[in-house]
Amino acid sequence: MSGRRKTLATRCGRRITVSRAELPVVPTGWVALRISSGRDDDHVEWVSLSRAEAAALGEALLEQAREV
């Protein structure tokens, strides 16, 4: 992963890291999400999103946050 990395800790103990995913030789233009399980088992889930998918996810999150 490269670029600016931002990590958010949630109330339930999960850590969500957002960054750009790029291969050493080929810039992919993907956004990567790394989500921990919130437990001490070191389990994480990875999601790679295209620019359009990342933008749609961001819009959906903002829409939900405005309604809370």
Q: Domain of 21?
A: 2-67
Residue 2 has pLDDT above 60, yes or no: no
Q: What share of the chain is helix, strand, coil (3-state, %, to 5)?
A: 25, 40, 35
Q: Is the pLDDT of residue 3 over 70?
A: no
pLDDT per residue over 21-50, tens digit each?
Answer: 777 776 677 899 999 988 888 789 999 999
Q: How many domains does the chain have?
A: 1
Hey, what long-range contacts does 6-11 have (CB within 8 A, 24 or more apart)?
10/38
